[in-house]
Amino acid sequence: MIELSLFPELDSELQDKKSSTFEDNMKLPIHRWYRYTAGFSATWVAKIIEEEILNGRTRIIDPFVGSGTVALESTMHEVEAFGLESNPYVFKIASAKLLWNHISITKIQQASRQLIQRAKEIDTSVENYPLIIRKCFPDETLLRLDALKNACLEIEEGDIKNFFWFVITSILRSTSPVGTAQWQYIQPNKSKANVLDPFAAFEKKIIEICSDIRKCSLRSSNHKALILQQDARGEVDIPDNWGDLVITSPPYANNYDYADAMRLEMSFWGDIENYKGLKNVSRHLVRACTQHVSRLKNDVFDMMESSLLEPIKEELRIKFDLLDNERKNHGGKKNYHLMIVAYFYDLAQVFNTLSKKTSEKCKMCFVVGDSAPYGIYIPVDEWLGKLALNSGFKSFSFEKLRDRNIKWKNRKHRVPLKEGRLWINK
Ligand SMILES: C[S@@+](CC[C@H](N)C(=O)[O-])C[C@H]1O[C@@H](n2cnc3c(N)ncnc32)[C@H](O)[C@@H]1O
């Protein structure tokens, strides 16, 4: 088993409060390669894995892999893991990080020297980039990013190409002078300080990566978590009855758009040009924002009648009506009433998947937050617990970690919210 002594010691209470945030991961080798604000604490994940190894639970599933925190900690602790991530961009990011114990430092250094060399010779152009990219990067910067991109695209298919795709993707926001904070929507009218030149940012990243691999190289065998680009709501390639520990965090019902959040990256690589392109990504995701439910109409009534939502049906219908009425008082007329039905329906499907894929001794931890669209409170932890029981799990309890929505003056509503761990047992 891996010693955690290489990681900074954190006071355990503080560590508990921060277990739902990615903040501390930016100090941890490998986790820090990509700032994924939606991620949770690797130190906390490590602690759970260590405790559960002692209880004989060594097969881990994370149905919402994100940047790969659970998968990485599983490889570092030499336990088996499966993960699911249905956003192809996020999947590629997590997959590249998991290559850390499969490609050598020498290979990375040699290939990166070749890539930089090639980028300096190659023809570049900014003409074909979409407007969003032209607004985010001055031509001079974009020419250099284009050179790195074209040099990467020339590499033959395989781990090295995927790895450099990741490195270039990971430096995009730090090389843009406009408002492109990691994992927030792009704000081309704002500017930011400390912008890096693309070649310098690329080299700096390679140095960080090699230093981290060197630091961790004593700590792992060839373990590799298997992550799949699959939708956790449906059929997935994990053996039945396999997992005995689930550690995860689903999208929260808080209107954050996990497809749109990668618009800059997808546009840079030429993978989306318009709304339809984004839709191809979002249709594989849990519906947690109003943009993803705009076409739902009568389907929500079928969902509410479905056996999947039976345990929360009446309460859900009350909130649905309240939200439907409340929206009429707001300019945006957001479809929160449709969103919450689709959200719980989707997560009920995920519980069904997990019920099939886990063993009789399985324990699950879902890091969740509740929500109050238009100020109407939705008891997310309680409803998810009930849906898990409906899928065959035996018990659940909620452990609150922190309050949300209590600090800011400009918050949209005054309903206190919380974040915590939903523990579910078979
Ligand atoms: C809260 S984030 C998980 C973050 C992760 N714990 C980490 O530390 O990076 C939720 C993730 O679930 C993914 N996701 C959303 N719907 C999904 C689905 N139906 N199947 C699989 N993954 C999904 C999103 O793309 C997002 O990356």
DSSP secondary structure string for all residues of 31-69: GGGS--TT---HHHHHHHHHHHHHTT--EEEESS-TTTH
Q: Is 227 in the pocket of ligand 1 (CB under 6 A)?
A: no
Do the strands 59-62 and 80-84 form a parallel or antiparallel pair, or are they unpaired?
Answer: parallel
Protein residue with its CA nearest to atom 17 in ligand 1: 285
Q: Is 28 in the pocket of ligand 1 (CB under 6 A)?
A: no
Q: Is 285 in the pocket of ligand 1 (CB under 6 A)?
A: yes
Q: Is 146 in the pocket of ligand 1 (CB under 6 A)?
A: no
Query: Picking from 150-159, 207-216, 220-229, which range would have the lowest pLDDT averaged per residue?
Result: 220-229
Examine the pLDDT at 237 and tell me if it is beyond 60.
yes
Tell me, what's the pLDDT at 4? Answer: 33
Q: What value does the mean pLDDT of the chain take? A: 89
pLDDT tens across 26-59, in order? 889 999 999 888 888 999 999 999 999 999 999 9
Q: Is 21 in the pocket of ligand 1 (CB under 6 A)?
A: no
| More confident position, 105 or 9 | 105
Q: Is 25 in the pocket of ligand 1 (CB under 6 A)?
A: no
Domain boundaries, the chain: 103-219
- Which two tokens mark 342? 């689709």
Q: Which amino acid is at 276?
A: K
pLDDT tens across 291-303, in order? 889 888 889 999 9
Examine the pLDDT at 308 and tell me if it is beyond 60.
yes
Size of the chain, expressed as the number of residues it contains: 426
Protein residue with its CA nearest to atom 25 in ligand 1: 87
Tell me, what's the pLDDT at 11? Answer: 47
- Which two tokens mark 268? 């840079």
Examine the pLDDT at 14 and tell me if it is beyond 60.
no
Do the strands 226-228 and 80-84 form a parallel or antiparallel pair, or are they unpaired?
Answer: parallel
Protein residue with its CA nearest to atom 16 in ligand 1: 285
pLDDT tens across 166-199, in order? 999 999 999 998 876 655 566 777 777 788 999 9
Q: What is the CA radius of gyration of the chain?
A: 22
- In angstroms, the CA 304 to CA 330 distance is 25
Q: State the DSSP code for 185.
A: -
- In angstroms, the CA 293 to CA 299 distance is 10
Q: Is 175 exposed, middle or buried, given 0-12, 13-18 or 19+ CB atoms closer than 10 A?
A: buried
Q: Which atom of ligand 1 is nearest to the CA of 231?
A: 20
| More confident position, 154 or 17 | 154
Protein residue with its CA nearest to atom 12 in ligand 1: 64
Q: Is 247 in the pocket of ligand 1 (CB under 6 A)?
A: no
Examine the pLDDT at 121 and tell me if it is beyond 50.
yes
Q: Is 40 in the pocket of ligand 1 (CB under 6 A)?
A: yes
| More confident position, 280 or 92 | 92
Q: Is 244 in the pocket of ligand 1 (CB under 6 A)?
A: no
Question: Ligand 1 centroid to 288 CA: how many Å?
Answer: 11
Q: State the DSSP code for 371.
A: B
Query: Picking from 4-18, 173-187, 313-327, 360-374, which range would have the lowest pLDDT averaged per residue?
Result: 4-18
Examine the pLDDT at 7 and tell me if it is beyond 60.
no
Protein residue with its CA nearest to atom 26 in ligand 1: 66
Residue in the block written with tokens 């590499």: 155
Question: Ligand 1 centroid to 138 CA: how many Å?
Answer: 32
